[in-house]
Amino acid sequence: MAQDGITRDRPDPDSADLAARHGLSVSGARPGLVEYIRRLWQHRYFIGEFARARSSAKYTRARLGGLWFVLTPLLNAAVYYLIFGLLLGTSRGVADFVSFLVTGVFVFTFTRNTVTSGVKSISGERGLIRALHFPRAVLPITQVTIQLRQIAISMVVLMVIVVARGNFPDWGWLLVVPVLVLQLLFNTGLAMWAARLGSKSTDAAQWLPFVLRAWMYGSGVLYLVEDRAANAPAWVLNLLDMQPAAVYIDLMRFALMNTENFGTEYLPAHVWLLALGWALLSLFAGFVYFYRAEEEYGRD
């Protein structure tokens, strides 16, 4: 140990012993997992209020204000429709391409936006981290909550479009709720993973968008992947079919659309198991990965 400081009031050599005698605990030490979750639960109001504040502050300087919550997903879908539907003609082989495309874009955007905002959730709130004491998991979870508000608005827009295209509400629409819940769990885990990744260096914020774009093209957002990759080996097709984004997008399409290839009756049971498995795996792994670095956030 370097003795740079002149210390007059030096505690016992065994200061740990003194601390223990008076019931002092190590400051800033990471609590146990159960205690951590309990503290996180205590901060639920903060998460809600923080998310509300952040998302209402998002468009306060825009002239159209809150209208952008509706316009952003709509414009997004419109651009993809223009390029992939009209120019490239990927709509071949898909009945009701508009509903197909819009559902895919909205569902995937939910995941994509949670990851990209999760990456910045720790590094962007350094001031808050250095000023106040709260479980750091509050920050990525706040970002997920913000995106949840956005997807709730998007879902209303989506349902209007889907109905306008002639897919009228039936009992299958109730499946939207479990699909969104599972995707939410999946996204939460992903956001926490991304948050730790982005907390140390900003590299992750640079390369993640490319990974996400590749993921989108491989998830059948804009076309039927099975048609496009018909020549690929069977295991590749299986992989593309069973990866989480494809699972959640397909489930949402099954729930909302009634065309010949997407109806509730065609839904294989194992897809639900996959959706549940991905959600739990992501949530558990992401949470533990984030939690293990709890003491490190705010160092740089």
Partner 1 sequence: MTDVSEQAQQSGQAEAEQNRPPTVIVDNLHIVYRLRGSAAGGKGKGGGKGKAELRAQAAAARQEQQQERRRSGRGRASRALRRLTGRTDASEKKGGRTVHAIKGVSFTAYRGEAIGVIGSNGSGKSTILRAIAGLMPAEAGRVYTEGQPSLLGVNAALMNDLSGERNVILGCLAMGMTPQEAYEKREDIIKFSGINEKGDFSSLPMRAYSSGMAARLRFAIASAKNHDVLMIDEALATGDRKFRRRSEARIRELRGEAGTVFLVSHSNKSIRDTCDRVLWLESGSLVMDGPTDEVLEAYEEFMNG
Binding mask 49-78 for partner 1 (x = CB under 8 A): xx--xx-xx--xx-----------------
Q: Among all chains, which residue has been given the structure tokens 């499946």?
A: 175
User: How does DSSP assign 41-87, residue by residue?
Assistant: HHTHHHHHHHHHHHHHHHTTTSSSGGGHHHHHHHHHHHHHIIIIIII
278's CB contacts (< 8 A; 6+ apart) are 182, 186, 244, 247
Terminus-to-terminus CA distance in the chain, angstroms? 23
Instruction: Kindly state whether residue 23 participates in binding partner 1, applying the rule CB under 8 A.
Output: yes
Instruction: Kindly state whether residue 19 participates in binding partner 1, applying the rule CB under 8 A.
Output: yes
Q: Residues 72, 78, 176, 296: which binds partner 1 (CB under 8 A)? A: 296
Q: Residues 35, 66, 108, 127: which binds partner 1 (CB under 8 A)? A: 127
Window 134 to 163, contacts with partner 1 (CB under 8 A)? 134
User: Considering Cα of 96, then 266, then 159, then 75, what sign does the dihedral take?
Assistant: negative
Cα–Cα distance measured from residue 78 to residue 120, given in angstroms and rounded to the nearest whole number: 28
Stretch in the footprint of partner 1 (CB under 8 A) among 126-134, 156-164, 258-266, 272-280: 126-134
Instruction: Kindly state whether residue 36 participates in binding partner 1, applying the rule CB under 8 A.
Output: no
Instruction: Kindly state whether residue 32 participates in binding partner 1, applying the rule CB under 8 A.
Output: no
Cα–Cα distance measured from residue 193 to residue 208, given in angstroms and rounded to the nearest whole number: 12
Least separation in angstroms between CB 153 and partner 1: 20
**For binding to partner 1 (CB under 8 A), which residues are involved?**
1-12, 15-16, 18-19, 22-29, 42-43, 45-46, 49-50, 53-54, 56-57, 60-61, 125, 127-134, 200-201, 295-296, 298-300
